[in-house]
Amino acid sequence: MSRLQPTQTDLVPGEAVALSETLNAAMPKTARFRMPSGHPMEWFAFVFLAVLIVSSVFVEFIPGLVRASFPYGDFSQGPEWSLNGLFGTDALGRSILSRVLYGARTTLAIVSVATLISLVIGMILGMLAGFYRGPVERIVDLYANSMASLPPILVILALISVTGNSVFTMMLALGLLDIGTYARIAKGGVIAQNDRDYVLAARAMGASDMRLLLREILPNLVPALTAIVPPLMAGLIITEGSLSFLGYGIPAPAPSWGGMIASSTDLLSRFPLLIFGPIVAIVLTVYSLNTVGDCLARRMNHRGREL
C-alpha cells in the first residue's frame, strides 16, 4: 500500500448495499444474538458475574454454608479447601466467604438501585436537554458539570449527615453521583438523532414530542446506555467499598466488603490473609463488570456498522 496515497477502504455506499443484500439474504427474520467474541477472559467475566449474582441472591440456600454472623470456627484461620473456610475465618471466627456473599447481596442491591435511580433521572434530564436545547440544556449542563466537579465523597458525607447511615441513604447517595454522566450520554445521543430522516418522517406524520422521544429516539439510546452501565456500576462498587471502609457505610454487624477490610486493618501484620476474601471479591467483580461493558460496547459498534 503506497504510504502516501490516502487510503480509502470504505465501500462506496451503493456497493455496500449490494453486498449487504447478499449477506442479508441468508439472515433469518429476527436478528441473531451474538455471544461474546470467544476470548476466554470474557467468558470468565460473564460466568463470574452470573455465579456471583445467583449465589448472593440465594445465599441462604447454599447447602452447608454457615450464616455470616455465626462464629463457627477458630479465629483468623487462613484459607483452606472447604466451603466455609475457602477464604478463612475472621477475628471473630466467622466464615469470610459467607460474609463476602452476604455482603455481595447488600452491595449489589445498593449499587443496582443506585444505578437505576441515576439511569432513569439522567436519561430523562439528558433527553429533555438534547431535544429542547436552549435553557433546558443549559440547566442540565450546569448540574452535570457541577456534580462532576465535586468530590463524590463529600457529597455523600453531606447527605449521610442529614439522613443518617442506612441502606436507603447509600442508595440515594450513590444514585446522585452518576446522573450527570448518564445525562450527558443521553443528551449526545438525542442531539445526534434530532436531524435524522426518520425523526423528521415521524414529525411529518404528526408525532407529538413525547412520542418522538419515547418511540423513535429512546430505542436508539439503549445501546450506548447499556454499554456504559456496567463500568459505572463498577465505579459505584468501589465508592461504596471506600465508604464502608471509612465507616460511613452500612453499620456493623451487617457484612460489607469495605467494612470487612476496615476491621482487618489492625490485624494485618499478623494475619495478612484476612483481607484476601473481600479484596478478591471487589477486584473480580469490578473486572468482570468492566469486561462485560466492553463486550456490550463492541456489539453496539458492530450493530451500527451493519447499517
Chain positions contacting other proteins, by CB under 8 A? 1-15, 17-27, 29-31, 133-134, 194-198, 200-208, 211, 215-216, 219-220, 222, 306-307
Least CB distance to other proteins at residue 191 (A)? 11
Least CB distance to other proteins at residue 180 (A)? 23
Retrieve residue 175's grid coordinates.
Answer: 444514585
Between 223 and 251, name the residue whose CB sits nearer to other proteins: 223
Least CB distance to other proteins at residue 227 (A)? 15
3-class DSSP state for residue 68? coil
How far is it between the farthest Cα atoms of the chain? 74
Answer yes or no: are the C-beta atoms of 56 and 104 closer than 8 Å.
yes
Between 40 and 219, name the residue whose CB sits nearer to other proteins: 219
Between 21 and 64, name the residue whose CB sits nearer to other proteins: 21
Between 194 and 265, name the residue whose CB sits nearer to other proteins: 194
Could you identify the residue written with the cell 442529614?
A: 162
- Cβ burial of 112 (10 Å; 0-12, 13-18, 19+) is middle
- Residues belonging to the chain: 307
Least CB distance to other proteins at residue 143 (A)? 20
Answer yes or no: are the C-beta atoms of 259 and 245 closer than 8 Å.
yes
Retrieve residue 68's grid coordinates.
Answer: 455470616
Between 22 and 269, name the residue whose CB sits nearer to other proteins: 22
Retrieve residue 273's grid coordinates.
Answer: 490473609
Least CB distance to other proteins at residue 197 (A)? 4
